[in-house]
Amino acid sequence: MTIAALLVAHSCNVGYTPVIGAADALKYGRLSHVDQTYLRLATYRAANATLIDYQAAIPLAQAWGGGLVASVDGMRFVVPVPSVYARPNPKYFGRRGGATWLNMINDQAAGLGGKVVAGTPRDSLYVLDVLYDRDGGKRPEMIVTDTASYSDIVFGLLTLAGFAYAPQLADLPDQKMWCIDRTADYGAFQDAARGRVDLARIERHWEDILRIIGSIHTSAVRAYDVIRMLSRDGRPTPLGDAIAHYGRISKSLHILRLADEPGYRRQIKSQANLQEGRHSLARKIFHGKQGQLYQRYQDGMEDQIGALGLVLNALVLFNTRYMDAAVNQLRADGFEVHDEDVARLSPFVRHHINMLGRYSFQLPDLPGGLRPLRDPGTPDEE
């Protein structure tokens, strides 16, 4: 009960006051003690791993995907107090400081992990760190990001690490592709393939490239530090340039697939839309003036965002269980339910979620395990 109250207080960005007194035991001293003693990133991550595994076993989640496609994107928050994460960024925060919650979600709609970073750096600097520091779930094979998380060096590092990198690219017809032999005839792609991949440069630095990938894979170094090391004043070092040349091979193949395979484009767009759906649900849960964190102390930001991620996964699990039960009931009642329609269902439905008002943390008596499903013939309550 106390943990549930604290998760509501943090994830809804309302603080202790609205949940104090929701039950006799919920006093400020108890809430503060449990918060400081038991709620931290390590416990959030352990709880997330359990939720991810449970949801992945539900047939409806398996109809959405196999858990091998994931996307990484950032959600911005205004930070009203001094913090190591708060940085000015007029585009997102006006004159105030802010932070970015860079989070990862798989094609089953489960949040696999996230990282709070300052609001100024490009997301691309942290994508690999998020991938290698996930809370649970299968290791993704394909990674979708937006244009802000893209660079040729990141393309190379992700490809070398064994991921299929599929960023959304702006202005696809104007994208530059790369060839190996400029004397070869590439037919219709002769004008588009105007760049050249220098294989000799890659070969010259190959041993160092393998050491970097091995160090990232074994968590000996942070990918963020590696990417910063590979670029100086916005220009790549010789080693960074070699990795970028390697990445341009995969980038050219990615552009060709985007142009030639409608199914590939739909897969990327669907995953990106899924991420946006999660962020929309997060905004509904997370109350606050213009996304402003309620926190009063600079060391509470990661814990507050960790609570938000855990509550999002709990709601996705709740929706998945009940939607799966509803689909099964419809089929048992003789209704025709098409698999392609089931695959389009979203676990981010939120009209039934109200995070404001009075809170109750008493467990309901559910002898059957689930609440009774609503009769479709019954009118909705206003």
Averages of pLDDT over each 10 residues, the chain, 382 residues: 89 85 84 90 94 96 96 84 69 74 95 85 81 94 85 92 91 81 80 87 96 93 90 87 94 91 94 94 72 52 86 95 94 92 92 80 80 74 54
* pLDDT of res. 296: 45
For 87, the 3-state DSSP assignment is strand
Stated pTM of the model: 0.89
Question: CA 63, 66, 67 angle in degrees (round to 5)?
Answer: 120
Q: Which positions ≥6 away from 61 have C-beta within 8 Å?
A: 55, 108, 109, 110, 320, 324, 347
Q: At what angle do helices 152-160 and 238-260 cross, to 10 degrees?
A: 80
What sign has the CA pseudo-torsion 59, 61, 63, 65?
negative
* pLDDT of res. 381: 59
d(CA 179, CA 196): 5
Phi, psi of 88 (to 5 degrees): -70, 140
307's tokens: 């609570």
Q: Which positions ≥6 away from 368 have C-beta within 8 Å?
A: none
* pLDDT of res. 297: 42
**First CA to last CA distance, the chain:** 29
- Domain edges within the chain: 66-308
Helix, strand, coil share (%) of the chain residues, nearest 5: 50, 10, 40
87-92: which pairs have CB atoms within 8 A and are 24 or more residues apart? 87/118, 87/119, 87/120, 88/119, 88/120, 89/119, 89/120, 92/119
